[in-house]
Structure 1
Amino acid sequence: MSEIQINTTQNVNINFTLASVGERIVAHLIDLLIKFAYAGIVFWIFSEIVDSSRTLQNLDWWSLVSIYVLLLFPFIFYSLVLESLFEGQTLGKKAMKIRVVKIDGYQASFVDYIIRWFFRIVDLNMLSGFIALISIIVSEKGQRLGGMTSGTSVISLKNKVRISHTILEEIGDDYKPQYPTVINLSDNDMRIIKETFTTARDAKDNDTLLKLRKKVEEVIGITSEKDTISFLTIIIRDYNFYTQNM
């Protein structure tokens, strides 16, 4: 499989396995099935309501179409909304265990998802996706036009990433990471975090744990509602998920 190398802000090179063309096509087909199922159900329900409502029956054809288009907003903005909510994944991508990521090591932003969504008009809707297929095959980083413009690509989560050296932590093959931005940490950062966490936890030093938590949240750019020990435990495991040898 092809790989993409991401250089994090701490100058750590991480190799991610790119999602294959087949995985992306299947994910797209799953999303299409969900979207058209929704559109069909909405059309059926809307038709039933129109047939039983004198108010709606008195509306002209364009008014009815306008109402139906409004009801189709979840269909239209499906990928934009889900990728924004699920950090680069739609339901199809979740099923295929693939994700959208920035190629510069940062987590994709809402603006990046908007760019990807907008370019779907060219990539996927024109010529039945032929443009996207050719772009992905030709691109060194497996990007369609929307990915090239937004600086994103799609990686597989089925295989662990590779890094020159790791902070070892036992995690299962079915482990699911929660904080992708942990890749912004360096190996040295993680050593300090793990050593400080272990010492403070064993000594029940809550002040140190809280200070450590705040620093980690600041560096990786997130705020978690989990308790401090659970949060730091997940951070250590997530880092190992993204940096263990395949």
Structure 2
Amino acid sequence: MKRLQIKTAQNVNINFTLANVGQRLLAFVVDNILKFAYFYFAVHFLNFGMFEGIGRLDGWSIKALDIIIFLPITFYSLYTEVLLDGQTIGKKIMQLKVIDIDGFKPSITDFVIRWFLRIIDFNLFILLFIYIASLGLPNQEAWFFLLFFFGKMVGFFLILFTNNNQRFGDIIANTVVIYIKDDVKFSETILEELSAKYVPTYPGVIKLSDNDARIIKNTFQSARKFNDYKTLIKLRSKIQEVTEIKSVHKSDKEFIDTVLKDYNFYTQDM
């Protein structure tokens, strides 16, 4: 498997295992099975004509209500990745996760970009077919099959041949998909000694992921060792940006050390 090596400001190397095209394909299949299951349920168990008897709804209103029913399919990958910390249900089963190219949790904007650009990675055939259909060419069924295959495979070919196994949406959003079942457990690298009477200060640290905590700890240890105050300031700013917490400590060292301890406090029993 390919590995992504991230080098911190103090030249500390952190390695992530990149998800390969087979793993991402299986996650994609699982997600689509769930979407098709929802579609089947909606079509066969919901009466789409039930809205016709409601008041004086016109045809457009009924169509709008029908569209609302299918919104969970349309936005599936977006809201699951946002709510499940970079994972769809398929990715969770396959133990894959979306992170940004620096190893941190992507922003909501990054997730939106990845979702929107699926139209190029997996649904390009729809746009191409609409254009071909407008030309009135013969054998449009053959064109449709060819465009369907090509349009659905754009993302997979990019994952297969790019250095960091990125589809177009990943490249633009600066994200990668990693395999999180590694030989070394994250808890072995981010564990902090806590007393039984420890009282946490920053509940907002739960917005961090294990990957975030590992990067923070490695960078913090190196910066503290060499008294690199510039890196400590940048690290504090990044933590505050991701967690949206405000420091009550005067020292950057005390703040970051407390953040790591608080993260362990809130996650050690999860």
Q: Deviations over 1:110-140 (max 9, x none)?
A: 0000010011011012334211111111100
Question: Structure 1 residues 189, 235: CA separation in 2 closer, same or farther (over 3 Å shift)?
Answer: farther
Distance 1:188 1:96, change over 3 A: closer
Residue of structure 2 in register with 1:205 after alignment: none
Alpha-carbon RMSD across the aligned residues, in angstroms, is 3.7
Alignment partners' CA distance in 2, 1:102 and 1:96: 19
* Partner Cα separation in structure 1 for residue 241 and residue 178 of structure 2: 20
| Closer/same/farther in 2, CA of residues 167 and 44 from structure 1, 3 Å limit | closer
- 2:99 is paired with a residue whose SS is strand
Match of 1:98 among 96, 99, 112: 96
Matched residue type, 1:182: A
Alignment size in residue pairs: 204
Alignment of structure 1 residues 40-189 onto 2, 5 Å: 40-47=40-47, 50-51=49-50, 54-55=53-54, 59-126=57-124, 127-160=150-183, 178-187=209-218, 189=220
Judge conservation of contact 1:16–1:155 (CA < 8 Å) in 2.
yes
Scaled by the length of structure 1, the TM-score of the pair is 0.68
Matching residue's letter, 2:243: I
Please say if residues 103 and 211 of structure 2, whose CA atoms lie closer than 8 Å, have aligned partners that are also in contact.
no
Question: For the residues of structure 1 that align with 2:161 and 2:102, how far apart are their CA atoms?
Answer: 20
Query: Tell me, which stretches of 5 or more residues in structure 2 are unaligned?
Result: 125-149, 193-207, 225-235, 246-259
**TM-score, normalised relative to structure 2:** 0.63
Tell me, in whole angstroms, the C-alpha distance in 2 between the residues paired with 1:235 and 1:9: 27
In the TM superposition, residue 89 of structure 1 has moved relative to its aligned partner by 0.2
CA offset at residue 94 of structure 1? 0.2
Give the fraction of aligned pairs with identical amino acids, expressed as a percent: 32
Inter-CA distance 181–153: structure 2 relative to 1 (3 Å threshold):
same
* One-letter amino acid matched to 1:183: R
Aligned counterpart, 2:22 = 22
* Per-residue deviation, residues 210-233 of structure 1 (Å, max 9, x unmatched): xxxxx8x94684379xxx977434
Who is 1:232 aligned against?
264
Q: What is the Cα deviation at residue 35 of structure 1?
A: 1.2
Alpha-carbon shift at residue 159 of structure 1 (Å): 1.3
Of the structure 1 ranges 33-42 and 146-155, higher mean CA displacement relative to structure 2 is found in 33-42
- Alpha carbons of 1:218 and 1:17: their partners in 2 closer, same or farther (altered >3 Å)? closer
**CA, structure 1 residues 71+10, in 2 after alignment: closer, same or farther (shift >3 Å)?**
farther
Distance apart, 1:33 and its partner CA: 1.1
Equivalent-residue separation in structure 2 for 1:89 and 1:222 (angstroms): 19
Give the secondary-structure state (helix, strand or coil) at the position aligned to 1:185: helix
* Alignment partner, residue 230 of structure 2: none
* CA distance in structure 2 between the aligned counterparts of 1:188 and 1:116, rounded to whole angstroms: 28
From the superposition, tell whether residues 5 and 64 of structure 1 become closer, same or farther in structure 2 (CA, over 3 Å): same
1:29–1:132 Cα change, 3 Å: same
